[in-house]
Chains A and B, each alone.
Chain A
């Protein structure tokens, strides 16, 4: 049985089709589900094994990126989300989806309604679209199993991706940092444009303490085929594209449970 993946979309979601494809390529059975279908109970989150909130500009990123959708989820789907997370099912937020997970409070501590970290405007003040190096830290994150210690390349494309939190929070979540922006040698970096947004401690993605919820600014769904790499012509082969590995890990986790 292929795990059923709910690709949640709403007004302004725009990375939904490629995210759907990425999960399908990784062996999932992905469906595009509009948030209205959940609000009107035509669909139930409980019928799915994986939830992904893809990238885009939900509701135009008005007020803060992902905020309006976060308010909607917190107001209408809190119980369904809590039930989904408690059931031990993987949740992935990519770019705008990461912003939504942070603004609902699902990240970093699975407390819906309690916001303790923020993704704020890039230091450059504008949208940045480029490929970055990412160091994968050792964490319980199910999406990065087998990748810890490696340095991956993935693209970022966002205007509000600077990871920001108070010092105390940063210390508390130190073990939950999954991805850091890195230089060519795999060392975390604050220098622009390697760290494209000025994220504190070069944080590009974090998980919750159980490792089942992952949020990241880079776009793994944009690197599930060789020819998506900007310089694929320079290499004969470079193994499985790392984006695909992330989706495969989630699908495998659900299958093996």
Chain B
């Protein structure tokens, strides 16, 4: 018998959960008949009686000060409807383990299983059943992981018997049958399927399901980056493969501070005092598109584990998040079948990043959100993480024969099966249905304690090698770690969340919060002891061998026996054709604006310019006590800074700088210039707070449509831009990732999501004092525009977008001038000559100026040159330019030899006045601009 405890706030106490949903019902759904919502938590317990359930209710679940409870009886009374929403069976509810622990601590040893869920009571006279259904479908339930509970479950325990391993007779399949086998499951092409077929023909047997899954995972685009490694024929001529181009540029730059590039789970550069810092940026688009909360959580969790799995273990010190969505007010009819609305996606992705980072205690302090309607079929969700580790343990470790393989952290379940292969495939209307198992709910506390254990074991020198158990699960982690040696795995030892998994499911499951360590046999006992003390499960799962084979058994059954040589080198190199033709984009002839005030407000409230503060306030950006520059600063804490500065070594002044840049719109016109813009923007953001370009490194993330000839041609140009940028500035790319599945296909439509290159920059500074913020500091200072730009290059700008056009003449960043500009700005900040600095990006000089005014509670006047076209001058978005507030310093001295222009001065009045050639063009109250700028996200987040 299951005991049900329901807990509800006392009537006089507010119910913020209910109020938030009510707001969304009114705001997002426009339903007015629902007047009030009360919520209750529902707890279910199996294995205890009524008395024990009362005890749990009183001691654990309900606090008498503000709550009431019922046992096996309704708690929400007199509502028009009561709906209970729970995780589906098999989706692990992270709260269940805490309920079991607390019950044990209270002495209730007979409790077998526990679960929790939430009930919503709807109040209002005219509520119709179809309105309730709309609320359920659109706000309360994501059917991928949740369900409405119609009746009390009979049991909470998931039972099952382990399945057997099957042989898949592929030796005799024809081409059609091979492709059928690959579809929706293996995501391999015919040539690759044939390579597998030939291998098994040669060794004279058929593969097991586990072997086929292992190969598909190892050969997935997600894991092996076939496109980036392919032989590439561009417009008829062979060019160096994409990845090699990036790596060659990094090798040629031979940066003295780079300690590890492209070989480990993240890129590593030298810090100070015997420490190194590392960075990794990942995409998590496919899972986030079908279950944004779980998808974003597991995205954060995965990238944190990449940092944790760098060298012999690094501590995560920062998290970043960059998103692209369709506008949150886009009409529902425009959303393709099988896709979720961006308003829901945005709020749920933010909640996922928030709940993972905050609970792990990792400050999320750099990010951005971009909106474009072409993201309506699939969002772009990028999450980054940065870490610190001792320099002498920063190189990727190699397991030695005889070392043992330990799995540490969470248990293995059916969740996330086929994540690696799935995320390499395109999104279709079938995606949600077929691949529901590819998403799970993250458990940040599991990852936090695992991280605590790993860092302790690492500090004690007990770890030989470590890797994340992410995409591809054990198959990927052990297959890669043992690639040079061989590995022998006893799969039946893997701790499971519930029984009933087939061996291949255990092997490729992507259950989160697991890592694999290679540990010398003599150190295993000590590692296990640390884990036990920190409530972390750790199990010896295998042993590294010297036979270069991947051998996996499940009890007495051999489920996988493959040569590492075939697994890692048997994949046929793809030969891909690429061609790129510049799309025909017309350059508009816009008249000069007549209503400047209205225009300025519209620019400020454009989704790609407006304040994202409501999002940032939900992220803990101060945890770890390392913040030296918050994401939003200034007098009212509401003005954005360009990058984050952290002082990760307590009591020391040395700092880490982190920033990023991306621009999907420009890539639609020309990915070469769009990508240069992204790289320049990333670095300019870092330099605007004081970064030294000579001590800054880069990370690339290509989020591209499926690489057909045209998209691949665009990708080729983007990679060329990265290489040119790195060579010109001396800043190497030291880590990167590509995700080439931004295409949506259904019966009727094919949609290419705009190609995105996100460039992240990170670096070091000897002293946090040698940095700057963006808020104006005092009235009467001189304002200098620094950097080279051609104001007529307006294509892709917010200004053009507001006029309904894209344009053709896009900003072409001058790689000869840019490095000198960056160096000059850095030098001026380091010398303490600059009071405030902000980089120019979306919304141009006008938006930049307004944000600096908001921060300082100061106004400004600027005077445009007589020959300038005023709208272009104000709204041009060329990256790599800065607006600088100068104290007494002489600009001629600071910026000798680079383009700069004295544009105006700060003023005590709360307004911005724009002159041209001494004549007033217009003036604007700051208050109006700020309201326009803050409104859009306030509307989404309430």
**Residues of A bordering B, CB below 8 Å:** 10-15, 17-18, 21-22, 25, 34, 36-37, 55-57, 59-64, 67-68, 71-72, 75-76, 103, 115-118, 120-131, 155, 157, 164-166, 198, 219, 221-222, 224-225, 227-228, 230-231, 233-234
Interface residues of B in 749-770 (CB under 8 A from A): 768-769
CB-nearest residue of chain B to A10 = B535
Contacting pair B633 A231 (CB below 8 A): yes
Q: Which of A11, A126, A165 contacts B618 (CB 8 A)?
A: A126
Evaluate contact between B618 and A72: CB separation under 8 angstroms: no
Q: Is the CB of A122 within 8 A of B16?
A: yes
Chain B residue nearest to A196 in the complex (CB): B617
Q: Which chain B residues in 256-284 approach chain A with CB under 8 Å? A: none
Known contacts A125-B20, A224-B625: A67-B102 contact under CB 8 Å: yes
- How far is A18 from B106 in the complex, measured between Cα atoms in Å? 32
Extra 11 A-B pairs, beta carbons < 8 Å, given A11-B448, A36-B533: A12-B359, A14-B361, A15-B623, A18-B623, A36-B535, A56-B361, A129-B616, A129-B619, A164-B65, A222-B623, A231-B634
* In the complex, the 10 A-B pairs of residues with the closest C-beta atoms, listed nearest first: A14-B361, A18-B625, A62-B98, A125-B16, A125-B20, A21-B650, A60-B445, A12-B445, A118-B65, A57-B359
In the complex, A14 Cα to B14 Cα: how many Å? 29
Q: Specify which of A25, A55, A117, A225 lies most central, judged by the most chain B CB atoms within 10 Å of its CB.
A: A225
Identity of the chain B residue whose Cβ is nearest the Cβ of A219 in the assembled complex: B622
Tell me the smallest distance from the CB of B642 to a CB of chain A, in Å: 14
With both chains docked as a complex, state the minimum distance between the C-beta of B770 and any C-beta of chain A, in angstroms. 11
20 contacts between A and B (CB under 8 A): A17-B625, A18-B625, A21-B650, A56-B361, A57-B358, A57-B359, A63-B61, A63-B95, A75-B106, A125-B16, A125-B942, A127-B354, A127-B617, A129-B620, A155-B622, A157-B620, A198-B14, A222-B622, A233-B777, A234-B775
**B493 at interface, CB cutoff 8 A:** no
B622 in contact with A115 (CB, 8 Å): no
B contact face: mostly helix, strand, loop, or mixed: loop
Interface residues as binary, B640-656 with A (CB distance below 8 Å gives 1, 0 otherwise):
00000001001101000
Q: Which of B436-453 contact A (CB under 8 A)?
A: 443-445, 448-449
Among B60, B444, B625, point to the contact of A21 (Cβ < 8 A). B625
Tell me how far the C-beta of A257 lies from the nearest C-beta in chain B, rounded to whole angstroms: 27
Give complex CA distance A224, B626 in Å. Answer: 11
Least Cβ distance of B721 to chain A in Å?
Answer: 34
Interface residues of B in 86-141 (CB under 8 A from A): 94-95, 98-99, 101-102, 105-107
Task: Evaluate contact between A115 and B60: CB separation under 8 angstroms.
Answer: no
Q: Beyond A57-B445, A118-B63, is A222–B94 a contact (Cβ under 8 Å)?
A: no
Q: Which of A124, A219, A227 has the most CB of B within 10 A?
A: A227
Residue B66 interfacial (CB < 8 Å): yes
Q: Considering the complex, give the chain B residue whose CB is closest to the CB of A231.
A: B633
Measured between beta carbons, the chain B residues less than 8 angstroms from A25 are 651
* Partner pick for B105 among A71, A131, A227, CB 8 A cutoff: A71
A166 B650 Cβ-Cβ under 8 A: no
Interface string of B612-639 (1 = CB under 8 A from A): 0000111111111111101001110100
CB atoms of B618 and A127 under 8 A apart: yes
Taken together as a complex, chains A and B put the C-alpha atoms of A10 and B360 apart, in Å, by 12
| CB–CB A120/B60 < 8 A | no
> Given the interface contacts A21-B625, A118-B65, does A231 sit within 8 Å of B635 by beta carbon?
yes
- Are A14 and B448 in touch, CB under 8 angstroms? yes
Chain B residues with CB under 8 A of A57: 358-359, 361, 444-445
| A36 CB contacts on chain B under 8 angstroms | 533-535
Interface presence of B772 (CB below 8 A):
yes
By the criterion CB–CB under 8 Å, are A60 and B359 in contact?
yes
Assess A130 versus B449: contact at CB under 8 Å? Given A12-B359, A224-B625. no
Question: What residue in chain B is nearest A157 (Cβ atoms)?
Answer: B620
Interface digits, B589-626 against A, CB 8 Å rule (1 contact, 0 not)?
A: 00000000000000000000000000011111111111
CA distance A55 to B358 in the complex (A): 11
CA–CA, A51 and B14, complex, Å: 34
* Nearest A residue to B647, CB-CB: A227
How many whole Å from B874's CB to the nearest CB in chain A? 27
Bound state CA distance, A18 and B63, in angstroms? 31
CB of B19 closer than 8 Å to a CB of A: yes
B63 partner residues in chain A, CB cutoff 8 A: 64, 103, 115, 118
Do B20 and A71 touch (CB < 8 A)?
no
Which among B354, B445, B618, B628 has the greatest number of chain A C-beta atoms within 10 A?
B445
Contact B772 A233 (CB under 8 A): yes
B939 in contact (CB, < 8 A): no
Closest chain B residue to A71 by CB distance? B102
Whether A117 lies near B65 (C-beta < 8 A) is yes
Contact B625–A22 (Cβ < 8 Å): yes
Chain A residues, CB < 8 A from B650: 17-18, 21
For residue A59, which residue of chain B has the nearest CB? Answer: B98
- Docked CA distance A201–B325 (Å): 41
A225 to B102, alpha carbons, bound, how many Å?
38
Residue B154 at the A interface, CB < 8 A? no
Say how far A223's CB is from chain B's closest CB, in angstroms. Answer: 8
Which among B448, B616, B625 is the interface contact of A222 at CB below 8 angstroms? B625
Taking a contact as CB atoms under 8 Å apart, the answer to whether B625 and A234 are in contact is no
Interface-centre pick from A14, A164, A222 (highest chain B CB count, 10 A): A14
Judging by beta carbons under 8 Å apart, are B533 and A71 in contact?
A: no
Complexed CA–CA distance, A221 and B60 (Å): 30
Interface string of B766-784 (1 = CB under 8 A from A): 0011011101010000000
> Would A228 and B95 be within 8 Å (CB), given that A157-B620, A233-B773 are in contact?
no
Do A72 and B13 contact each other (CB < 8 Å), given the known contacts A60-B445, A62-B99?
Answer: no
Q: B102 near A63 (CB under 8 angstroms)?
A: yes
Smallest CB gap from A193: residue in B? B617
| Chain A, Cβ-Cβ closest to B358 | A127
The distance in angstroms between the C-alpha atoms of A233 and B634, with both chains bound, is 10
Max count, chain B CB within 10 A of own CB: residue among A67, A68, A120, A129? A129
* Chain B, residue nearest A12 (CB): B445
Chain A contacts of B633 at CB under 8 A? 230-231
B931 within 8 A of A: no
B59 interface hit (Cβ, 8 Å): yes
Min CB distance, A160 to chain B, in Å? 10
- Taking the complex as formed, is B195 at the interface, i.e. its CB lies under 8 A from any CB of chain A? no
A181 to B360, CA, bound (A): 27
Q: How far is the CA of A185 from the CA of B60 in the complex (A)?
A: 41
Q: If A21-B625, A115-B63, A230-B630 touch, does A11 touch B13 (CB 8 Å cutoff)?
A: no
Residues of B within 8 A of A224 (CB): 625
In Å, the complex CA distance between A61 and B653 comes to: 34
Query: What is the bound-complex CA distance between A225 and B625, given in angstroms?
Result: 9
Question: Which chain B residues border A120 with CB–CB below 8 Å?
Answer: 9, 13, 66
What residues on B are CB-neighbors of A37 within 8 Å? 533
Q: What residues on A are CB-neighbors of B101 within 8 Å?
A: 59, 68, 72
Q: How far is the CA of A164 from the CA of B63 in the complex (A)?
A: 11
A154 to B60, CA, bound (A): 31
Q: How far is the CA of A237 from the CA of B412 in the complex (A)?
A: 54
B644 to chain A, nearest CB (A): 12
Q: Nearest residue in A to B653 (C-beta to C-beta)?
A: A227
Q: Once bound together, how far apart are the Cα atoms of A245 and B448, in whole Å?
A: 30
A219 to B361, CA, bound (A): 13
| A122, B942: Cα distance in complex, Å | 14
- The yes or no answer to B17 lying at the interface (CB within 8 A) is yes
Q: Which residues of A contact B444 (CB under 8 A)?
A: 12, 57, 60
**Is B64 an interface position by the 8 A CB rule?**
yes
A97–B647 Cα distance when bound, in Å, is: 25
Chain B residue at minimal CB-CB distance from A9: B452
Please name the residue on chain A nearest to B364 by beta carbon: A129
Q: Is B99 in contact with A129, judged by CB distance below 8 angstroms?
A: no
- Contact between B19 and A125 (Cβ–Cβ < 8 Å)? yes
Closest to B19 in A: A125
Whether B628 pairs with A157 at a CB distance below 8 angstroms is no
| B773 and A228 contact, CB distance less than 8 A | no
The residue among A12, A15, A76 with the most chain B CB atoms within 10 A of its own CB is A12
Instruction: Establish whether residues B445 and A130, one from each chain, have CB atoms under 8 Å apart when the complex forms.
Output: no
CB atoms of B618 and A166 under 8 A apart: no
Q: How far is the CB of B528 from chain A (nearest CB, A)?
A: 14
